[in-house]
């Protein structure tokens, strides 16, 4: 698998992705991994509509990703993977993806979450997931856009 970037962003595909990241990274496929969206044909269509036509958009459940990894489906693409939480990243590791680093781009405030950085709010479960990822040796950088300075999210969590 040619994984160019994995990003946690609860908005998934939006302006920062299309206008910011896609102009700076060499990908030909965006993969959204989300059980709920994988069952929603309308959302799949909407996400595909906002991305340039030369970039393939795939939406998979975690179960589907596990099967695709085993069958080496991903070997023919340069990927940007989008998930909504650090828990999702842990699930991807469990299905066999090897990850060196994760970009944390957007985890917006909701009830029970604590603001730690612009566009990043977490609760205790998120904190524990990030701690597990750090323990696994995954670099956890915060960057909203590719030219922004990199920050280690763990400096703001501990």
pLDDT in tens, 5-34: 999 999 999 999 999 999 999 999 999 999
Please tell me the pTM assigned to this model: 0.94
- Strand (E) or helix (H) holding 44: helix 41-49
pLDDT for the residue numbered 146: 94
Where does residue 3 fall: left (phi above 0), alpha (psi -120 to 50 degrees), or beta otherwise? beta
Beta-carbon neighbour count of residue 28 at 10 Å?
14
* Full set of structural domains in the chain with CATH: 2-157 (3.40.35.10)
pLDDT for the residue numbered 1: 65
User: What residue has token string 């999210």?
Assistant: 153
Q: Map residue 123 onto helix, strand or coil.
A: coil
Q: What is the spatial distance between Cα 82 and Cα 60, in angstroms, rounded to a whole number?
A: 11
pLDDT for the residue numbered 132: 98
pLDDT digits (tens, 9 = 90+) for 39-57: 999 999 999 999 999 999 9
Identify whether 14 is a catalytic site residue.
yes
pLDDT for the residue numbered 155: 96
Core vs surface per residue 3-22: b (16+ CB within 10 A) or e = bebbbbbbebbbebbeebbb
- Among 14, 24, 87, 135, the one annotated catalytic: 14
Highest mean pLDDT among 9-13, 62-66, 74-78: 9-13
């Amino acid at each position: 698998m040619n994984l160019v970037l994995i990003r946690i962003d609860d908005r998934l595909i939006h302006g920062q992705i299309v206008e910011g990241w896609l102009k700076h990274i060499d990908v030909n496929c965006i993969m959204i991994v989300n059980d709920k969206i994988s069952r929603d044909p309308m959302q799949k269509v909407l996400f595909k509509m906002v991305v340039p036509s030369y970039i393939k958009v795939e939406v998979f459940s975690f179960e589907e990703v596990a099967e695709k990894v085993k069958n080496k489906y991903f070997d023919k693409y340069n990927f940007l993977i989008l998930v909504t939480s650090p828990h999702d990243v842990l699930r991807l590791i469990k299905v066999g993806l090897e990850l060196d680093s994760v970009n944390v781009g957007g985890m917006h405030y909701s009830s029970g979450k604590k603001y730690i950085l612009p566009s990043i709010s977490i609760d205790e479960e998120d904190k524990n997931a990030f701690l597990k990822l750090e323990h696994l040796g995954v670099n956890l950088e915060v960057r909203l856009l590719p030219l922004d300075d990199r920050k280690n999210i763990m400096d703001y969590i501990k």
